[in-house]
């Protein structure tokens, strides 16, 4: 690999440039010495960095002809690059210092690659951070967010003004302690929990590859951007990143370029204490192209050449291992864990200013640096204008595709889409809600161009295949069934990336409900970052039977009901499954978890899509005056049991109301009047039944009510027997109803 | 790697045997043809298996001299081996068929390696499955549990009788749908959720290496066993397995030998649809020795030679990639996903019987096979007796070490250990509970020989370093600080393995509380499998401040309170932290989660270790007759707020009781009388305060009470400001108290 890298990168450097979009670059970069790529460093080599003075000076010889030419060639005067890089470093140092909180080490080490990305490589429009065809950037090592804030600030994003930098990590600021897409325009995804970002980047790159395959035409590459990512040692250690990287290699995501900030320091010290694997070899095993930039501190040309090389490799994602010094420039703290996650302290800030020759006040951006970066505003506007013109052409020629793509870009759902939702009557055949889910997915895929997804190797159990589409694969990226393999965690995080690529994407993903435990961190980020991912979670209780307690969710419904900004839906039959999908599709800024049964369930009288939208509603009632003798409540597969118990109790003369509690969150959002109409305060005789933990139900059934559930682990046996042994039965509901009423 | 493997394996085969324990083997195995190791298969090779007839016949030429000689040399007549292997296959086929549920494919493919392990390689005593020095076996691909049940049955374990095989996956049986250590003696760990088992195996191997380093003497290797594991494609795809495998390579766990069942089929079909990485190369990158057995179906000698080679490599774990055919023997279903997770069906069972020449009734074990395996009972007893004699010798010479080791083996805690717990008075300095936790850990490490653990790269934040010990590393395995790197999920699963190695191990592990989301699947298995792991979870609320919502737990307390068999403890100060450790140490069959503060907290009057043991208790009260005007409740860092509010309310003349609710689970276990003495039913004026989701609190505060908490995500700002902005204040408690009383 090493030798081929030398050849390829040097070949690119010495040849005339390869411009995107077919526009040719007339001047070639003159560099005094070519960057050299040596073989991969042995892991036993001493890791202490020696900051070397850059020996190459590359000048911008000709002003750029158009905003769309390959920017990589236009390197700036190295002194100005250095000044810009130090501006980034000191903005980070100063912000962390002022907050007395944060992580200066990464921005100081990664400033060179950050500068080259945002100033020379990436195509974006700072005044419209959501311009569709922009290059995406993900800081997977999210703790280094001051790097990103400094870059957004320099690039002219309105979201990060000087006062925002000065209020880093303060209440209400646009510069929180980790990058949050919902706080700061220009931040694509929320990162911080390690390893998530690289998976988001895989999702973003997947989305681009998919849309390009679906919508590009021989005469119009209307979808065409790169996805860049910076990840650190911590991201590399997390299993989730290996999962997504394996998929990225499998899918051949050639426009994904990840920078591995190889600084060899993590919070506990030198990474040698826990991380001595060969990352390079691992990524080669995963099917990536791997390049090593040995001098990430000042080797600007090395970084540039690596990016060029990465772009030239079109069938594989590229990992650029950039060896940097954490806290570069700090004479006493660089290359140590002490610069990772704490402010440098006034004394060391002074020493660093001296060491890097930085005479400026805190937060100062030198005029020449400011001026240099100021071109991104007009250039970004030009890039977008050019793309808009291109899209107008495209629209003329390919109106149908343009309309579809537009709906993905804008997130406007096609009108009348919800008419595609299937409906059922009590006479419709009994079926498992996982099967009913598949009917919904297949119906919706026809009307929602942004719906795509798949399962973590359980497609035939989760029932998630879209029958009219093939598999999204390296050579069939236009297809919509994504095969994630047994990789739940990265599946969720990849879907977050897809969701954040464009508002019209509606990614869904699936596994057994119990295995949400494997992907909970990604699901929480869906909830936190407003990603409307649909989690199709089947085998949702002891009803799965023989697989036993390792596979039987118990506490999972409660655990998601407790999580903010996520909808936990447990439909009972066909109409409720359709209702759950309606809610999930409409909630584009809130993920939905659909808990679905493995076992067959009858179509119940009284269920409805509209009912589901209210979260809790009456499916049957023989009382009058809003005063039933008892209210029975159930969700999902246990709603049938509640309905049966009601039938029996009514035979005995009781007035009984049956309430489906399909989504607690939606019910909570209803008016007090509605809530009172379903659960009158005066009726304290209430019984709930759910094949899961009773935790949380007391808020609904009250002190005088009774919650029937399972507060132990499950068991391996046929489902019917477990239900009986665990007392999840109509008899138990009847007995409880008599006890409380 | 491939060429060195050839050399080494052939060298071993052709040389005289290397026996363990120094006893030399006088006869060498004669094989007609040496197994050959070719270079690693290209991933593009066609994967269809061709069942080849074995060409080697190796005979047992000399009866074994002693139970302790290397069993690997004593290969059995190949016809009998084949018969035994088919017995295993059909026990699996028949059990799955009878249950009409289960996974026959893996046992059919892995029967040869299973046979060789349990019949020729592993050292165990079937009549005492918990004999300390036994070799450990983990079926990471737990769905193939019929393999393990068949092997335990043949080997003579009382836990799996013929009737147990016949009640596979039935209510109350010893043969549940996935292996469960708490149901079936002889099963070391609970597996099924993929990837967990290989991590458990890493934990078991770590435990062995650690104990061997601590207790072995030049004249007595009192700790000396291997850890074997079978993992499948699914395990390999899961990120958790990469995490643990990276650590195993880093730690140089030479006595860990993992078999990768390379059958190229997962539930969704051919693994090519989602898994095309080079697993071999990845494991080499992770520092493993890798061997490829190309014919895992009938290549018995290849398997034997690979194990020998693996044992000879002492400084690296070994991955033996064994290429098998899933469902080997089934003429119409082998090598397809249809044999993965469903019964073959009567017709295909018949066809398989014909194909493999198996004339017997279901569940039949041929007499010669039975007789062959029957030797394991006396041999196992002899192995244990020999070890016991060795231990008696050891005890004479090294009484102190022997006593320590014994306490680890038996799980008997040293008497008076709890006296080491630190105590505090209200005058003791305010401190963060994470720091108080470190005082406890360091005090306990002196008196509990089995206490060891570490953090996922946050040791200096979680405060988990044991100051009197160094790091457990490849060359210092006797030390007790384990450096897990940023690998939360495998950290938990490795600790499960350590806990299940010997009852006296008390593993602890640490990260930020919010990152329990990364390791929840492993924590659930701690709870399910009775592993008393101590989870030290710091930065337990918005109190961590500036890192913001990605790092601030909200729903996590609720999510663990909902999980069965796990103790969620949130101590408020020094005494409560000590109490939490007392509870955690005593609960050897129930994991504990300690939620600890980043921020300083005062030592509160009224807190106590004894109080913590009751889960909820009164820390102050100015009422009489068990009738306070209002009961204020808090946990952890908010108990101080409740106490402050009480002071204010008392000044205004109210009678106020303050209750610390440090562990809901423990409180639930108290007598009704005790509960009534703390929370009298007649007092409905109740206010709770906790910096987390209010989900679940209504069971305690009741309909008339008020739960103060946070039902949204957090924010990035200094902690004090977030508390104030979110209304987690004494003022809010006072206002609520006035409202409800």
Test B178 with A548 for CB contact under 8 angstroms.
yes
* Statement: residue A481 has pLDDT above 50: yes
List B471's β-bridge partners, or say none.
B481
Test B246 with A237 for CB contact under 8 angstroms.
yes
Tens digits of residue pLDDT in A281-296? 999 999 999 999 999 9
Instruction: Report the distance separating Cα A404 and Cα A398, nearest Å.
Output: 10
Among B243, B277, B722, the residue with its CB nearest the CB of A286 is B277
Is B263 annotated in a binding site? The answer is: yes
* Statement: residue B38 has pLDDT above 70: no
Contact assessment for residue A79 and residue A357, using Cβ atoms and an 8 Å cutoff: no
Tens digits of residue pLDDT in A518-546? 999 999 999 999 999 999 999 999 999 99
Among B99, B455, B698, the residue with its CB nearest the CB of A699 is B698
Tens digits of residue pLDDT in A419-472? 999 999 999 999 999 999 999 999 999 999 999 999 999 999 999 999 999 999
Instruction: Report the distance separating Cα A526 and Cα A587, nearest Å.
Output: 12
Which positions in chain B touch A549 (Cβ < 8 Å)? 176, 180, 528
Average pLDDT over every residue of A614-623: 98
DSSP assignment of B106-134: HHHHHHHHHHIIIIII----TT-TT-TTP
What is residue A507's three-state secondary structure? strand
User: Where does the pLDDT of residue B266 fall: very low under 50, low under 70, confident under 90, or very high at 90 and above?
Assistant: confident
Instruction: Identify whether A488 is a catalytic site residue.
Output: yes
Is B734 annotated in a binding site? The answer is: no
Contact assessment for residue B639 and residue B606, using Cβ atoms and an 8 Å cutoff: no
Test A237 with B485 for CB contact under 8 angstroms.
yes
Tens digits of residue pLDDT in B97-132? 999 999 999 999 999 999 999 999 999 999 999 999
Tens digits of residue pLDDT in B45-58? 333 333 333 333 33
Is B233 annotated in a binding site? The answer is: yes
Instruction: Report the distance separating Cα B216 and Cα B132, nearest Å.
Output: 14
Among A286, A471, A487, the residue with its CB nearest the CB of B239 is A487
Q: CB A469: neighbour CB atoms within 10 A? A: 16
Which positions in chain B touch A521 (Cβ < 8 Å)? 515, 517-518
Test A517 with B521 for CB contact under 8 angstroms.
yes
Among B458, B528, B721, the residue with its CB nearest the CB of A267 is B458
Q: When comparing pLDDT for A571 and B265, which is higher?
A: A571
User: Where does the pLDDT of residue A267 fall: very low under 50, low under 70, confident under 90, or very high at 90 and above?
Assistant: confident
Among A176, A521, A716, the residue with its CB nearest the CB of B177 is A716
What is residue B673's three-state secondary structure? helix
Tens digits of residue pLDDT in B423-438? 999 999 999 999 999 9
Tens digits of residue pLDDT in A38-91? 333 333 333 333 333 333 333 333 333 333 334 445 557 999 999 999 999 999
What is residue A138's three-state secondary structure? strand
Q: How far is B650 from chain A (nearest CA, A)?
A: 28
The pLDDT score that the predictor gives to residue A76 is 72
Binding site per annotation, positions of A for Mg(2+):
233, 263, 265
* Helical segments of B512-631, H only: 516-528, 556-561, 574-586, 609-614
- Nearest residue to B353 (alpha-carbon basis) of B342, B364, B369: B364
Average pLDDT over every residue of B549-571: 98
**Cα separations in angstroms, B210 against A272, B203, B247, B639:** 20, 10, 14, 40
Nearest CA in chain B to A488: B238
- Under 8 Å CB pairs connecting chains A and B tally to 350
Q: How far is A313 from chain B (nearest CA, A)?
A: 18
Structure-token match 């969700």, residue found: A635
Which DSSP symbol is given to A232?
E
The pLDDT score that the predictor gives to residue B43 is 33
Is B539 annotated in a binding site? The answer is: yes
Tens digits of residue pLDDT in A393-425? 999 999 999 999 999 999 999 999 999 999 999
Is the ipTM here above 0.85?
Answer: yes
Is B356 annotated in a binding site? The answer is: no
Check A180, A238, A348, A488 and give the catalytic one.
Answer: A488
Q: What is the mean pLDDT of chain A?
A: 91
Test B238 with A278 for CB contact under 8 angstroms.
no
Q: What is the mean pLDDT of chain B?
A: 91
Is B693 annotated in a binding site? The answer is: no
Nearest CA in chain A to B559: A559
**Sign of the CA dihedral running B119, B125, B126, B132:** negative
Q: Which two tokens stand for residue A244?
A: 């997504």
- In a 10 Å sphere around its CB, with 0-12 CB exposed, 13-18 middle and 19+ buried, how is residue B126 labelled? buried
Test A565 with B713 for CB contact under 8 angstroms.
yes
Test A238 with B99 for CB contact under 8 angstroms.
no
- Nearest residue to B481 (alpha-carbon basis) of B503, B508, B515, B443: B508
* Statement: residue B359 has pLDDT above 90: yes
User: Where does the pLDDT of residue B61 fall: very low under 50, low under 70, confident under 90, or very high at 90 and above?
Assistant: very low
Among B284, B527, B696, the residue with its CB nearest the CB of A281 is B284
Contact assessment for residue B684 and residue B628, using Cβ atoms and an 8 Å cutoff: no
Which DSSP symbol is given to B694?
-
Q: How far is A678 from chain B (nearest CA, A)?
A: 17
Q: Give the torsion through C-alpha atoms of A23, A28, A33, A39, to 10 deg.
A: 20
Length of chain B: 741
* Statement: residue B5 has pLDDT above 60: no
Which positions in chain A touch B515 (Cβ < 8 Å)? 193, 521
Tens digits of residue pLDDT in B488-520? 999 999 999 999 999 999 999 999 999 999 999
Tens digits of residue pLDDT in A186-225? 999 999 999 999 999 999 999 999 999 999 999 999 999 9
Structure-token match 């991955």, residue found: B319
Which positions in chain B touch A142 (Cβ < 8 Å)? 550
Number of Cα atoms under 13 Å in the Cβ half of residue A577: 32
Which positions in chain B touch A483 (Cβ < 8 Å)? 268, 273-274
Which positions in chain A touch B339 (Cβ < 8 Å)? none
The pLDDT score that the predictor gives to residue A75 is 54
Contact assessment for residue B734 and residue B645, using Cβ atoms and an 8 Å cutoff: yes
Instruction: Report the distance separating Cα A236 and Cα A242, nearest Å.
Output: 7
List A537's β-bridge partners, or say none.
A511, A595
Percent of chain A with pLDDT over 70: 90
List A455's β-bridge partners, or say none.
A483, A510
Q: How far is A279 from chain B (nearest CA, A)?
A: 7
Q: How far is B357 from chain A (nearest CA, A)?
A: 30
**Cα separations in angstroms, A75 against A71, A372, A495, A563:** 8, 12, 36, 48
Q: Which residues of A237-271 are buried (b: 16+ CB within 10 A; e: fewer)?
A: bbbbbbbbbbbbbbbbbbbbbbbbbbbbbbbbbeb
Check B488, B576, B640, B690 and give the catalytic one.
Answer: B488
Q: How far is A440 from chain B (nearest CA, A)?
A: 21
Nearest CA in chain A to B462: A268
Among B285, B337, B561, the residue with its CB nearest the CB of A695 is B561
Tens digits of residue pLDDT in A355-386? 999 999 999 999 999 999 999 999 999 999 99
The pLDDT score that the predictor gives to residue B75 is 54
Test A550 with B169 for CB contact under 8 angstroms.
no
- Nearest residue to A152 (alpha-carbon basis) of A177, A115, A120: A115
Structure-token match 């086929």, residue found: B93
Q: How far is A339 from chain B (nearest CA, A)?
A: 14
Q: CB B38: neighbour CB atoms within 10 A? A: 11
* Statement: residue B612 has pLDDT above 60: yes
Test A559 with B564 for CB contact under 8 angstroms.
no
Structure-token match 């000396």, residue found: B224
Record the pTM: 0.92
Which positions in chain B touch A234 (Cβ < 8 Å)? 457, 486
Q: Which two tokens stand for residue B653?
A: 């003349």
Test A485 with B275 for CB contact under 8 angstroms.
yes
Which positions in chain A touch B242 (Cβ < 8 Å)? 239, 242-243
Which positions in chain A touch B718 (Cβ < 8 Å)? 101, 169-171
């Amino acid at each position: 690999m090493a030798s081929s890298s030398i050849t390829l990168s040097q070949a690119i450097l010495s040849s005339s440039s390869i411009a995107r979009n077919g526009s040719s670059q007339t001047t070639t970069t003159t560099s005094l010495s070519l960057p050299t790529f040596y073989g991969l460093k042995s892991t036993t080599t001493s890791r202490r960095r020696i900051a070397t003075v850059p020996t190459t000076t590359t000048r911008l010889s000709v002003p750029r002809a158009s905003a769309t030419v390959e920017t990589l060639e236009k390197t700036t005067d190295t002194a100005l690059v250095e000044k810009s890089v130090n501006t980034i470093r000191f903005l980070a140092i100063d912000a962390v210092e002022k907050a007395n909180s944060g992580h200066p080490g990464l921005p100081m080490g990664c400033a060179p690659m950050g500068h080259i990305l945002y100033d020379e490589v990436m195509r974006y429009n700072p005044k419209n951070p959501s311009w569709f065809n922009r290059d995406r950037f993900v800081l997977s090592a999210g703790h280094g967010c001051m790097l990103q804030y400094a870059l957004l600030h320099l690039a002219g994003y309105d979201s990060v003004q000087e006062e925002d930098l000065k209020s880093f990590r303060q209440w209400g600021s646009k510069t929180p302690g980790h990058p949050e897409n919902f706080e700061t325009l220009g931040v694509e995804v929320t990162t911080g929990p390690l390893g998530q970002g690289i998976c988001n980047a895989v999702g973003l790159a997947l989305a681009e590859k998919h849309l390009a395959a679906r919508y590009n035409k021989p005469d119009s590459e209307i979808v065409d951007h790169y996805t860049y990512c910076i990840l650190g040692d911590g991201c590399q250690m997390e299993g989730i990143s290996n999962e997504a990287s394996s998929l990225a290699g499998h899918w051949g995501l050639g426009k994904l370029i990840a920078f591995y900030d190889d600084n060899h320091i993590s919070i506990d010290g030198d990474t040698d204490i826990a991380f001595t694997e060969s990352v390079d070899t691992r990524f080669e095993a995963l099917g990536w192209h791997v390049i090593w930039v040995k001098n990430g501190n000042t080797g600007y040309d090395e970084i540039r050449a690596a990016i060029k090389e990465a772009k030239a490799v079109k069938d594989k994602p590229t990992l650029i291992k950039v060896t940097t010094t954490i806290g570069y420039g700090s004479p006493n703290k660089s290359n140590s864990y002490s610069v990772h996650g704490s402010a440098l302290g006034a004394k060391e800030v002074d020493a660093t200013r001296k060491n890097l020759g930085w005479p400026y006040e805190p937060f100062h951006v030198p005029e020449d640096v400011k001026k240099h970066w100021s071109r991104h505003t007009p250039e970004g506007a030009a890039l977008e204008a050019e793309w808009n013109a291109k899209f107008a052409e495209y629209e003329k020629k390919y109106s149908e595709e343009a309309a579809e793509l537009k709906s993905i870009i804008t997130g406007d759902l096609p009108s009348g889409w919800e008419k595609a939702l299937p409906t059922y009557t009590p006479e419709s055949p009994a079926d498992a809600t996982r099967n009913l889910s598949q009917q919904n997915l297949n119906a919706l895929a026809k009307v929602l161009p942004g719906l795509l997804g798949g399962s973590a190797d359980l497609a035939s159990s989760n029932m998630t295949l879209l029958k009219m589409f093939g598999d999204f694969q390296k050579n069939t990226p236009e297809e919509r069934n994504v095969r994630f393999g047994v990789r739940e965690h990265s599946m969720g995080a990849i879907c977050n990336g897809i969701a954040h690529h464009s508002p019209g994407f509606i990614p869904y993903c699936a596994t057994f409900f119990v295995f949400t435990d494997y992907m909970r961190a990604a699901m929480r980020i869906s909830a936190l970052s407003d990603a409307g991912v649909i989690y199709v979670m089947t085998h949702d209780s002891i009803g799965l039977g023989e697989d036993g307690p390792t596979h039987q969710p118990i506490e999972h419904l409660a655990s998601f009901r407790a999580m903010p900004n996520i909808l936990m839906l447990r439909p009972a039959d066909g109409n409720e499954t359709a209702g759950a999908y309606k809610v999930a599709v409409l909630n584009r800024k809130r993920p939905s978890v659909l808990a679905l049964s493995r076992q067959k369930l009858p179509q119940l009288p009284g269920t409805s899509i509209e009912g589901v939208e209210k979260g809790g509603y009456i499916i049957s009632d023989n009382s009058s005056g809003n005063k039933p003798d008892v209210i029975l409540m159930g969700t999902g597969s246990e709603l049938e049991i509640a309905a049966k118990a009601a039938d029996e109790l009514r035979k005995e003369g009781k007035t009984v109301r049956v309430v489906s509690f399909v989504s607690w969150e939606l019910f909570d959002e209803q008016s007090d009047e509605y809530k009172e109409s379903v659960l009158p305060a005066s009726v304290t005789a209430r019984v709930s039944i759910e094949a899961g933990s009773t935790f949380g139900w007391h808020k609904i059934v009250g002190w005088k009510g009774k919650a029937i559930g399972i507060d132990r682990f499950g068991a391996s046996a046929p489902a019917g027997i477990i239900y009986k042994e665990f007392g999840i039965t109509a008899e138990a509901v009847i007995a409880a109803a008599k006890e409380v009423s």
